[in-house]
Structures are given as structure tokens and as C-alpha cells.
Amino acid sequence: MSNIDRRSLVKGSFAAIVAGAMVSRTALADASEPILLGVSGPLTGPNAQYGAQWKQGFDLALDEIHAAGGINGRKLAYNFEDSQSDPRQSVAIAQKFVSDPRIVMELGDFSSPASMAASPIYQRAGLVQFGFTNSHPDFTKGGDFMWSTSVSQADEQPLLALYAVRHLGLKKLAVLHQNTDWGRTSRDYFVNAAKGYGADVVITEGYIADDRDFRSTLVRVRDANPDGLILISYYSDGALIARQARQVGLKQTICAASSVYSPKFLELGGEAVEDVHLGTRYFPQDPRPEVRKFIDGFKAKYGGQEPDAFNAYAYDAMNMAAAVLRIGGTDRRAIRDAFAKVHDVPMVIFGSATFDVESRRIKGAMNAELVIRKGQFTLWDGKPT
């Protein structure tokens, strides 16, 4: 030991590093190892809550996948890297995933800046980036390795407009939307559809997602004299708006996008969200077998907790990933090609899902028209409120 000089020590350790790198590159996962997915998403930072919800949805889906025999006999696992929804970190994670031969597909990220900043890396390296909350219309245009099960707002918003204008009979609408890429895109599709159904949009107000005070905005809304409020919100801001709308004396019908569909919306909104209408993709008493399996399984696994929309997206995404892997195996390119081949995968959001190969998205989301009655989400009975 003592007669090893510094130079040979450096040389030796360098050789060891090189050798180690070679081994890890050539070592192919054997069949007893689980198939590994990479997940890039927020576990800390301002969007941490959504990452936590993803995990719940993933874990439930994995339990069911394993109970059904896994992926052709192999287990499925995921490696969740925290990006804080920050593009700087999501690009580093992307490099990490593409250079890790065990990762066969990537899921996420949450926000558009983080997801779309990483897209060029996934596209060039030939690893599928499967974004399941990425509603930005240009996300899948990043390349043929970008696929998404996020409900296209071009599909969702006309359904909401149909509910508000045709079924609830609202004629003068005020639209409040998150001023984000999602909120803006949704607003545009909604306004077009609502006008097509013959309603007037008397005011639209975009707000910053972490705003908490909406009273002045709501006075503006009141002065525009609408007969219905449309919320393109998430559950926490949606609940705040509903509460404050009642406080400033607005008594109009409120109609909300499916993203408020969460038990938290009821908890945070309290009495103020009573009689709020919302269009969703499924509902608690939904008899569809995939929905029953999801809701009952979720409650059993998480101590009676009701699942919300983000749990459902993650659950669906993991099931879709499993379906793709069953066809595509573990080769990254074959997996990309398998996205075009899967058909009629049972999903909570879409019923049964087949990708549109052109847009790399799924068309035709399910639709349920709900209303909150006595603090519960219930199927709308057709009576106006």
C-alpha cells in the first residue's frame, strides 16, 4: 500500500471509473429486475401538492398491475425525481433519465415550462416523454416522442359550454380563468364554443394562480351583469372565488371546469360551493367498471379518502404506460411505436382510449354533468338552481 505512488493511484482510480461507466452502460436489466419508468415532477416547491397526488395515483395503479401479473411477468416501478416544476432542474433530470439505460419511458413534468424545456432532450435521445397533465396545445408538437393523455381543452371546454349554455340556460357569461397557458387556452376554446351556442361572454378576467383575494375582481364581474360565472380554476383558487363571490353579493349560477373536481374543493369552499355545477370526466357513483375499480381501490388503499382529478390522471397514465409496455417491451423506440398500436385501453378519463396518431393525443373524453348538493358531488338532476 505504501509504495503506490500518487500517479498510479490516479491512473488506477481513473481506469476504475471508466470501467464502472462501461459496465453500467452494458449491464442490461435482467428479467427479475422491475421495468423502470422515470417520473419528473414537483415534490417540493409551490406545486408540491400535485406531485404528492401523482404518487397516490401511480401507486394504486401499480398495485393493480402487479396483481394482474405485471408486464408480461415483470414488475413495473418508477423513479420519481423532484423537479420543483423548474425548467432548469427538469432538463438535468431529462439528461439523467436518457443516459440511464434502465429507464424505458418518462412521465411528466407538471408545468409547461418544465415539461417543454425538457422535450428537445427526450426527442433527440429517443426516449418517450409521456405528459399526462400537459394541456399546452404545442406540447406534443415537440416531436414524435411526445405523447399525452391530457384531455385536450378543445374537447373539454365545448362540453362545459354545452352544459352552461344549453342545459343550464345561461345567456350572459363571466369567465374567470387562471392566467396560465392552460387557463388561456381553455378560455379561448370555451368562449368560442359558448358563442357558438348563442351565449354572450360579457367579461373575462385572468388572474395569477396564487392570488387569494378576488373581491375586487368580483365587483368588476358584478358590474358586467352576467347571469352565470364560469371558473376555469383549480380547486384551491376555485373555492376561494366561490366563497368571495357570495361575500360580495353575487348570487349567480357558478359553473366550473373539471379541474376543481376534488374533495378539497368541498372542504375549502364549504357552503359557498353548494349548487356549483361542474363538468367532469367521471363521478363518484359512476357505474363504469374502470371508474368503480379506481374509486373503490383508491378508498381502500388510502383510508377512505376520495380521489380527485389529479389522482385520476396519474392512475390513468400509469395504466396506459403498462398497456404500452405490454406491446412495446423495453426497447425505447419500440415503446414509441407501441403508443400508436395500443387501442381501447380502459381509462377513467376516456372510457376506452386509443391515441390519435397525428396529434399524439386522445380524443373524446367522457363527460358527466355534476352539481354539488348538500356538500356532495352528485349527478345533475336536470333542475336549474
Residue list 238-257, contact with other proteins (CB under 8 A)? 239-240, 243, 247-249
- Answer for which of 213, 296, 331, 344 binds other proteins (CB under 8 A) is 213
Contact between 108 and other proteins (CB under 8 A)? no
DSSP code of residue 306: P
Please state, in angstroms and rounded to a whole number, the distance separating the CA atoms of residues 67 and 265: 32
Q: Look at residues 166, 219, 226, 223 and name the one whose alpha carbon lies nearest to residue 195.
A: 166
Contact between 109 and other proteins (CB under 8 A)? no
C-alpha cell at 82: 423532484
Distant-in-sequence, close-in-space partners of 11: CB < 8 Å, separation ≥ 6 = none
Residues numbered 120-179 forming contacts with other proteins, rule: CB under 8 A: 120-121, 124, 136, 138, 141-142, 179
Residues numbered 254-283 forming contacts with other proteins, rule: CB under 8 A: 264, 267-270
Helix (H) / strand (E) element for 39: namely strand 35-41
Q: What angle do CA 238, 295, 283 make, to 5 degrees?
A: 50
Least Å distance between CB 344 and other proteins? 32
Of 128 and 242, CB closest to other proteins:
242
Please state, in angstroms and rounded to a whole number, the distance separating the CA atoms of residues 80 and 55: 9
Least Å distance between CB 136 and other proteins? 8
Least Å distance between CB 209 and other proteins? 9
C-alpha cell at 113: 415550462
Least Å distance between CB 326 and other proteins? 29
Of 71 and 242, CB closest to other proteins:
242
Contact between 113 and other proteins (CB under 8 A)? yes
Contact between 7 and other proteins (CB under 8 A)? no
- Answer for which of 35, 61, 98, 260 binds other proteins (CB under 8 A) is 98
- Answer for which of 29, 48, 202, 342 binds other proteins (CB under 8 A) is 48
Residues numbered 291-350 forming contacts with other proteins, rule: CB under 8 A: none
Q: Contact, 232 vs 257, CB < 8 A?
A: yes
Q: Contact, 255 vs 372, CB < 8 A?
A: no
Distant-in-sequence, close-in-space partners of 26: CB < 8 Å, separation ≥ 6 = none
What CA–CA distances, in Å, run from 115 to 12, 49, 181?
41, 17, 13
Of 85 and 367, CB closest to other proteins:
85
Work out the number of other CB atoms within 10 angstroms of the CB of residue 9: 10
Size of the site for other proteins (CB under 8 A): 74
Distant-in-sequence, close-in-space partners of 46: CB < 8 Å, separation ≥ 6 = 84, 85, 210
Least Å distance between CB 338 and other proteins? 25
Of 147 and 214, CB closest to other proteins:
214
Of 265 and 282, CB closest to other proteins:
265
Of 33 and 211, CB closest to other proteins:
211
List the beta strands (DSSP E) in 215-358.
Answer: 228-232, 253-256, 277-280, 345-347, 351-353, 355-356
- Answer for which of 8, 13, 216, 225 binds other proteins (CB under 8 A) is 216
C-alpha cell at 59: 401507486
DSSP code of residue 29: P
Choose the binding region for other proteins from 33-41, 148-156, 237-245, 288-296 (rule: CB under 8 A): 237-245
Residues numbered 185-204 forming contacts with other proteins, rule: CB under 8 A: 185
Contact between 49 and other proteins (CB under 8 A)? yes
Contact between 27 and other proteins (CB under 8 A)? no
DSSP code of residue 165: I
Contact between 360 and other proteins (CB under 8 A)? no
Contact between 224 and other proteins (CB under 8 A)? no
Q: Contact, 205 vs 261, CB < 8 A?
A: no
Least Å distance between CB 185 and other proteins? 7
Least Å distance between CB 238 and other proteins? 11
Distant-in-sequence, close-in-space partners of 6: CB < 8 Å, separation ≥ 6 = none
